[in-house]
Amino acid sequence: METYLKLVRLLADGHYHSGAALAEQLGLSRAAVWKAARKAGERLGLTIESRRGTGYRLSEPLELLDPARFLGALSHPAHSHIARLEIFDDIDSTNAHLLAAGHAGAPSGTLCLAERQSAGRGRRGRTWVSPYGANLYLSLLWRFPQGPGHLGGLSLAVGAALAQALEAAGAAGIGLKWPNDLLWQRRKLGGLLIEVAAEAQGPSLVVIGLGLNTRLGGAQAQGIDQPWVDLDEILGPQGYSRNRIATLATKALVTTLERYGREGLAPFLPLWERYDRYRGERVEIRQGERVITGTQAGITIEGALRLEVAGEVQIFTAGEVSLRPVGSPSP
């Protein structure tokens, strides 16, 4: 681990630490500690305050991912499905990492989390804002015996299970937008990115990526092009633990994937309908330059969107459209 990352871990509590104590803990000179603090600010976008005679501190404390807390809180059935856990301080993309690992033979149940992503990705190639220690960046590799035709509703099943888990954690008012957005009061709280590498008849290598806003400051969110929200606003800074949210999300993912492999989307449809925030509303479907306006009429058993247009129901699949309420600006 690089020195500046070690320094950040020592400062994560948000308290002042003397330069002398930090130098001793890191085995550095005090001048080198100053350089490491500067590098952490440049590389990670963190604000490290220094005060003569007092020392250094982070402007805001960070709850960094702790594998002992995180895995220790998983119930046995869920824990037994985690074949490997990887936690990175800095990575390009947790999804890209697991796709490569999957092609190299990594087992089903390989779980990857990161404190920061330098190239986080959302659906349709969009950038996912991924500052250090601020949100949850989690990907899980899963292998299905079936082909990709069986997986059309997977993002809906996973989204419904995650919405239920967050609601149980106290986030009342959670909703879903087809096919992959987690919402709170119509603002984006998180999103799913599911990537598949498969033979037509199976098996399928699937990576399920979750990005969830826990603490997203104004400066960090400047590049976001839609209304957003984080758990700090919903639950308050003391109302949740980032490690506990990671545990709840992992449990929801593992439980859902195991059941989906056996039963498909059908058992998750009532849960999806419970959280669907746009059922019965006028929405726009965008296909490139083409815009189709209609009334959102739910989803099919395969997970496709049903849109009522001029009295007729048209069917749209997740891979080809972007759903937005009528009047929303283009992304």
Give the model confidence (pLDDT) of 11-31 as tens digits.
999 999 999 999 999 999 999
Q: CA distances (Å), 236 to each of 158, 171, 304, 325, in order?
A: 25, 10, 36, 28
Residue 188 appears among annotated catalytic residues: yes
Residue 9 appears among annotated catalytic residues: no
Mean per-residue pLDDT, 261-282 = 96
**Catalytic residue, candidates 123, 143, 251, 277:** 123
Tell whether the model's pLDDT for residue 240 goes beyond 70. yes
**Catalytic residue, candidates 177, 188, 215, 277:** 188
Which has more pLDDT, 222 or 292?
A: 292
> Residue 287: which pLDDT band, with cuts at 50, 70 and 90?
confident
Q: What domains can be seen in the chain, in order of their start residue?
A: 3-58 (1.10.10.10), 67-274 (3.30.930.10), 278-325 (2.30.30.100)
Nearest to 259 by CA among 147, 141, 158, 140: 158
Residue 30 appears among annotated catalytic residues: no
> Residue 1: which pLDDT band, with cuts at 50, 70 and 90?
confident
Output b/e per residue, 118-155; b: 16+ Cβ within 10 A. Answer: eebbbbeeeebbbbbbbbbbbbbbbbbeeebebbbbbb
Mean pLDDT over each residue of the chain, to the nearest integer = 91
